[in-house]
């Protein structure tokens, strides 16, 4: 049983390491800078100018 415990603890360590890596990758892909860059470069989007913004009354 001790050997099995060692194997499970080792597996847990690798899974935690992978999880941390995935969290970092997720935050990189979802960063505001990257989303804005993709929107501009790949989708041709741009932020509206002040003259294009309209505020609607309630």
For residue 56, what are its two tokens? 């609607």
| CB-based burial, 22-48: b 16+ in 10 Å, e otherwise | eeeeeeeeeeeeeeeeeeeeeeeeeee
Query: Is pTM, for the whole model, over 0.75?
Result: no
* pLDDT band for position 50 (cuts 50, 70, 90): very high
Mean pLDDT across 39-47: 94
Is residue 10 a contact partner of residue 16, using CB atoms and an 8 Å limit? no
User: 8-37 pLDDT, tens per residue?
Assistant: 999 999 999 999 999 999 999 989 999 999
Domain edges within the chain: 2-52
């Amino acid at each position: 049983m001790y050997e099995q415990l060692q194997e499970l603890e080792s597996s847990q360590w690798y899974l935690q390491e992978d999880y941390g890596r995935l969290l970092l990758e997720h935050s990189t892909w979802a960063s505001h800078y990257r989303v804005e860059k993709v929107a501009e470069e790949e989708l041709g989007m741009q932020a509206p100018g002040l003259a294009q913004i309209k505020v609607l009354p309630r």
